[in-house]
Amino acid sequence: MEKQSRRAFVKLSAGAVIGAAVPSSAAGLLAPNVAEITVYPDQVLGDISPNIYGQFIEHLGRAIYGGIYDDAQRRFRPDVLEKVQQLHPPLLRYPGGTVTKIYHWKDGVGPARPVRKNLIWGGNDNNHVGTDEFMRYAELVGAAPFLTVNMSTGTAEEAADWVDYCNGTGTSYASQRQANGHAAPYGVKYWGLGNEEAAREDVGTLQNVQDYVKKAWYYAKLMKLQDPSIQLIMAGDQAAWNEEVLRELHPICDYISLHLYASSKPGEPASLFASIATMEASIQKLAAQIKALTPAKVENFSKWYRFPSRQQPVKIALDEWGIWEAGGQGAYGLEQRYTWNHALGVATFLNIFQRNAAVIGLATWAQTVNVLAPIMTNETTSICQTIYYPMALYRRLCGPRSVAVAPTGVATLDVSASTDGKTLTLALVNRDPAAAIRLKLNPKITGHWTAHELTAPSLDAMNTLTAPDTNVVSYQQRTLPAGTTAYTLAARSIVLVQAPI
Ligand code: AHR
């Protein structure tokens, strides 16, 4: 990494560039890096779906029992609920994940709950948390529910019955739902047709994409006959699989799923960002396939289907994204301890989602509690890991439209920009462990800038259950005086700066 002093520029609109001499760092050891950023507030890249800030929970390890749910007391854990609520997830995916392939929703409704072996992740599942409990949780955290149906050990009829149970009126399943305490239909809009169906090692039966296509049509027909308004998320995989899915299922494919798990090489924190960068390439590759293979909407759909064809462009569902390092604890090493470097990774991911907003319809972080999670628990307490904080900050501050931004000069800087038409929000991530980045602010912005700054003492700083009252993440909100022209982005920081436009 180059660490000598240069001149810094931030160009926030065409023709508004200013430079400033960059001072050496106080210690004289590391001079700040410099960057030039050009923002084009009028160049809209796409609407940012509010659903990119979703979460995922699965019947896996301590995600549900011991995570969101206290089975001994038969209630949701209040400490965890409060933390999930403060994440404000707009969308919650359930029940899997791979467990979808052995999950039978009827085991999880009504008074008699059979205990089943969790054939995928181990242990027994007493089904104390099922559909109605999940719906209640989604309601408590303010999220729309997103359900995945079993295409392996389940049947299309079982999936359609689930749609009826959740969304029907006047049917026996609707009466059953009423008897279970919920008279009004849940109106579940998002339905995933399977999960990672191309995966060979688990109990899925559909590794051949032609088999998936055939079965997905059948599922879609039966489910949409129950409720024509539901939206379907088709399972994606590699390019050849995706091509076939898009060609054959596009009249009924609202979303194609893409799962992204980043990781780093031991002792090389920066390798995490290289891993995440490949994921932006994956998103763009799938976006190109969608563009090439699917019309924006489907006309001339036979009325004999008895439900409408797709009327909106196909979007990508990043219905599992996250960071999955080797060497975790718990079931299959999925209990991960996230450092501040991982938090910088989360912010980088969210910038990628903003830059590619035009094609990303939804995203659900895998997962929520204990499993690959921003929230960890033990029997008596819970903590927010480092990654929780950028998630919460982006959700709170980013605007609904992504606008063009072009940074040059510093590889450790990652940027996205968004607006609601009144406020410009620049999301800045400095992944450098030690060197600040010197920026200049646009003089055309006459109002105050507000900087929301997150940082931690080192890249490997972590929050732990052994010191639950210590938070290594510091947050500072600073108002920069009107006319401010320079801003220093601290080393290893995530900063959302906002200004009226
Ligand atoms: O999130 C953990 C697992 O990762 C999910 O069950 C599966 O879909 C993915 O491989």
Percentage of the chain exceeding pLDDT 90: 85
Cα dist from 481 to 34, 87, 441, 450, whole Å: 22, 30, 11, 9
Q: How far is 22 from 34, CA to CA, in rounded Å?
A: 8
Q: Report the CATH number of the 5-47+402-500 domain.
A: 2.60.40.1180
Instruction: Flag whether the pTM goes above 0.75.
Output: yes
Pocket lining: 325 vs ligand 1, CB cutoff 6 Å: no
How far, in Å, from the CA of 234 to the mean position of ligand 1? 16
Determine the pLDDT at residue 5. 25
How far, in Å, from the CA of 441 to the mean position of ligand 1? 42
How far, in Å, from the CA of 98 to the mean position of ligand 1? 6
3-state SS of 190-254 is EEEECCCCCCCCCCCCCCCHHHHHHHHHHHHHHHHHHCCCCEEEECCCCHHHHHHHHHHHHHHCC
pLDDT 10s digits, 132-163: 999 999 999 999 999 999 999 999 999 999 99
Pocket lining: 195 vs ligand 1, CB cutoff 6 Å: yes
- Helices of type H across 358-404: 388-397
- Helices of type H across 107-208: 131-141, 156-167, 172-179
Give the three-state DSSP class for 65: strand
Residue nearest to atom 7 of ligand 1 (CA): 97
pLDDT 10s digits, 229-241: 999 999 999 999 9
DSSP 278-312: HHHHHHHHHHHHHHHH--SS--S--GGG-S----S
Q: Report the CATH number of the 50-397 domain.
A: 3.20.20.80
Contact assessment for residue 334 and residue 298, using Cβ atoms and an 8 Å cutoff? no
- Delimit the domains of the chain by residue range: 5-47+402-500, 50-397
At 483, the pLDDT band (50, 70, 90 cuts) reads confident
